[in-house]
Amino acid sequence: MTERPGSLQEDSSQEELDLPVSRIAESPRHGFRGEPADFPAPIPAGLSIALSREAGARGGSIAKRAGVKLGWQVYSQDLLEYISQEGTFRRDVVDQLPAAALEWVEDRLNRLHKEQNLSRHPSVVELARMVLSLGAQGEVILLGRGAGCILPARTTLNVRLVAPLADRVAYMSEWLRLTEEEAADHVRRRDSARAEFIATHFHRKPADIHQYDLILNSSLLGEESCADLIVQAARAKMSAFVEDLD
C-alpha cells in the first residue's frame, strides 16, 4: 500500500466507505467542459465546492447528490490522490488548462507556501497543484484532502458535514459490519488521521468553525436536505461571484 502524505496511512480498501458511490468517475472527466476552452477572466472560471466531513457523516453520498443536482463532477479523496500521483491523468488535467490558468495555479501555490506555510511534502504539493488545476475550471465538488484550505475563499463554497458521534458509529457499524466497539475505534482513528493531515500540512484545525461557509448536521437534516442546502448556498455564492465581475 502506498503511504499517504505525511505518513498518515489508512486502509485503502476501506477508504471512503462513507462514500459508497464516490468512485463515480471510473473514467474521470477531467474538466467539466470535456475539452480545452478559452477561460473567461478572471480565473477561477467559476465556483467550486470543498466538502470536509467527520467520519461517518455521509459526506460522500451527500457530495454525489449535490453533484447530480448541480451537474458538476465530484472528486472523492481517493480520486484526488490518484490523479495527483498518476502521471497520465495528471497531464490530462493540466492539458485542459490554458497558459493563464496554469500561471494562476503556480502563483496560488507559491502564495500558499509563503502566506499559509503550506507543507513542502512532494505528495502534498502535487495534491495542492491538482486541486488548484481543477478549481481553476470551476464547477467541481472536491471531497476532503484539505481542498478548502487550498482554494481561494472568494470562489469556493467551503462546507463541513458533522453528525453526533453515536450516529456516526452506528452508521459505520452497519456499513462495515463491525461491532459497536470496532466502529467507534474506526471513527476515532479516521477523524484523528484527517485532523492530523490538515494540521501537519495546512496548519489548520477541521473543528475551527470560522473557516466554513456552511456547517450541516447530516443526522438532523438527512442526506437529501443537506444536498439541497449545499446547492442553494452554491447558487447564492455563484450569484455574488458574478456580481463581483460586473
pLDDT attached to residue 30: 43
State the average pLDDT over residues 168-190.
96
Integer Rg of the chain from CA = 17
Q: Are 49 and 234 in contact (CB under 8 A)?
A: yes
- Please state which of the ranges 2-6, 151-155, 177-181, 232-236 shows the lowest mean pLDDT: 2-6
CA atoms of 245 and 30, how far apart (whole Å):
26
Q: Which residue has better confidence, 215 or 9?
A: 215
73 to 36, 57, 67: CA distances (angstroms): 16, 21, 6
pLDDT attached to residue 109: 94
CA atoms of 176 and 164, how far apart (whole Å):
18
User: In whole numbers, what is the pLDDT of the chain averaged over residues?
Assistant: 84
Structure letter (DSSP) for residue 55: T
Order the strands of the 140-143 sheet from edge to edge: 73-75, 140-143, 48-53, 156-162, 214-217
Q: Which domains are delineated in the chain?
A: 41-245 (3.40.50.300)
In this prediction, residue 41 has a pLDDT band, given cuts at 50, 70 and 90, of low
Quote the percentage of the chain above a pLDDT of 90.
67
In this predicted structure, the answer to whether residue 9 has a pLDDT above a threshold of 80 is no
Quote the percentage of the chain above a pLDDT of 70.
80
pLDDT attached to residue 59: 95
Report residue 121: phi and psi, to 5°.
-55, 125
- Please state which of the ranges 42-51, 56-65, 188-197 shows the lowest mean pLDDT: 42-51
In this predicted structure, the answer to whether residue 64 has a pLDDT above a threshold of 80 is yes
pLDDT attached to residue 246: 54
Which amino acid, 149?
C
pLDDT in tens, 15-40: 444 333 333 333 344 443 444 445 44
Q: Are 216 and 161 in contact (CB under 8 A)?
A: yes
- Shortest CA distance to 73 belongs to which of 132, 141, 23, 18? 141
In this predicted structure, the answer to whether residue 153 has a pLDDT above a threshold of 60 is yes
In this predicted structure, the answer to whether residue 73 has a pLDDT above a threshold of 50 is yes
Length of the chain: 246
In this predicted structure, the answer to whether residue 61 has a pLDDT above a threshold of 50 is yes
Question: Which are the contacts of 150, defined by CB distance < 8 A and separation ≥ 6?
Answer: 50, 112, 118, 128, 131, 132, 135, 202
Angle at 64 between CA 61 and CA 68, to 5 degrees: 140
The structure's pTM equals 0.81
pLDDT in tens, 93-150: 878 888 999 999 999 999 999 998 999 999 999 999 999 999 999 999 999 999 999 9
Report residue 94: phi and psi, to 5°.
-60, -35
- Please state which of the ranges 65-69, 134-138, 218-222 shows the lowest mean pLDDT: 134-138
In this prediction, residue 4 has a pLDDT band, given cuts at 50, 70 and 90, of very low
Q: Which residue has better confidence, 4 or 73?
A: 73
